[in-house]
Structure 1
Amino acid sequence: MKRFTLFNATSLTLGFAFLYVPILILVIYSFNASRLVTVWAGFSTKWYGELLQNQQFLDAAWVTLKVGLISSSIATVLGTIAALVLVRGGKFRGRTLFSGMIYAPLVMPEVITGLSLLLLFIAAGVDRGVFTIVLAHATFSMCYVSVVVSSRLISFDQSIEEAAYDLGCTPFDAFKSVTLPIIAPAVISGWLLAFTLSLDDLVIASFTTGPAATTLPIKIYSAVRLGVSPEINALSTLLIGIVTIGVITASIATKRAAVHRKRQEELASQNN
């Protein structure tokens, strides 16, 4: 076993500091009483109150939340189906092309993806707005869901499904009652990943949005170009809190599902 040396401890500390100290400073200065974000003038929560009265930020947040919920749900369904086809479909004609199309957004630059979708919507005569942003986000986040769910399906014990077939279950009933509960942590993780990617996206949304639909990242970027305000610090702190709660919730759900799956496997082994 390698010793945890002073060099390793220093490198780890500097790495975490580089990643999280700026975020910590942002959170601290969101409670700054001064309008100048670099000058501390005492503790205050007034900027959170100002944020809740800023209708433009609230409208952008609502659009972002709506787009994230819808697009991540669509991406989860399509990504799970794609994972089932890739893992359970065996060899079929066009498999290489299909898998390449699924994984292409992982390596495709966002500028290229956004520009391609923009040209597609223009050619199809589709007005840009919430609908086009949802389609764009579902398109690029579906591949992430597929990767997460595929990794779980590869290690899935298919003998449990076969036992369900022997007991008279149809393929759909076996998937609903056996497969889906077991792969649920991966599906939930994929949904959370797709939702996070949708909340974070700026480049693709800027190509596919319209005048009546401004997402929160676009609104923040436009506001920051005129100078960072304490309201943006407060908004960023709220987003950090939401993401943190989501990660903790997903971790707890994954651990509980793992314990439940282990119990089911033990019961199945005892019955066999």
Structure 2
Amino acid sequence: MLMPIAALLLYLSLLSSIASADVLPTTPDQIGVPPVTLRFCYEDKQLLPYYAGNSAAVPELAGATIEHLTRAAYEAGISLELVRMPWLRCLQQLEDNSVDALVAAYDESRAHFTRYPVTAEGTPDPTLAINQLGLCLAYRYDNMLPDKITSNLSITVSRPLGYRPIPFPANTVLVPAHSPEQALELVVSGRVDATTVLCELNGIKAQEQHLNQLPVLIMYPPLYQSDGYLMLSQAFYEHYPQYAAQLWQALPQTLDKSRYLQYLNYPFPH
């Protein structure tokens, strides 16, 4: 009788162990959920080809930058949470660590609260930028803007509030606008001489398709060229430096230049 009882006790012990294993909490890695979430903030106004849609909601076709960042986050093993709000509020929330990241050009005034990929010398590393752009002046076809600039005459340029300063021709007077669309409307209506528009994208000459339907001309070469960096909050970088490095490294590897160009024709034809 001793052997059967011992065997029964061993069997019951094994059953208990299996049952306990079934109710133990599963770790994120076991169920395929990344252990780290990046809270990415971007503006709630459409800015093609980077962001699509004019609201706090994230549309299904969210924009080339969102698709690009989603792929890079996946490669880095990071979960992505998207938050849309006015651009200046994104900057404020990055500074107080309420969000983890945004895309912006390097600016010395933001350096104290942002972390970005750097070279061995400590300067921003363009090889790890998320994208590159060139800005040109767009002006109404009957506005003699090139002649005004050549003659060093005063010109008015509309630009959205919160956008970082860039070098303009001498005697430029800036006129604030609430959005890129409003800035362009001021040009078309003749109330200002020009505004800045995208004219180069990741080294390729490009512009939004709707500009071809407006009475405006684009002044080449680009007035300004810039690299966009995935700027991280101090808190995120300090907590997850290895994920930050993996994410920055994944960005150039997941860049699809053609997808950025396709979003210049958004909304896509059915």
Q: TM-score, normalised by structure 1?
A: 0.22
**Bigger helix share:** 1
Whose RCO is larger (CA < 8 A, sep 6+)? 1
**Bigger strand share:** 2
Q: TM-score, normalised by structure 2?
A: 0.22
Which structure's CA Rg is the greater one? 2
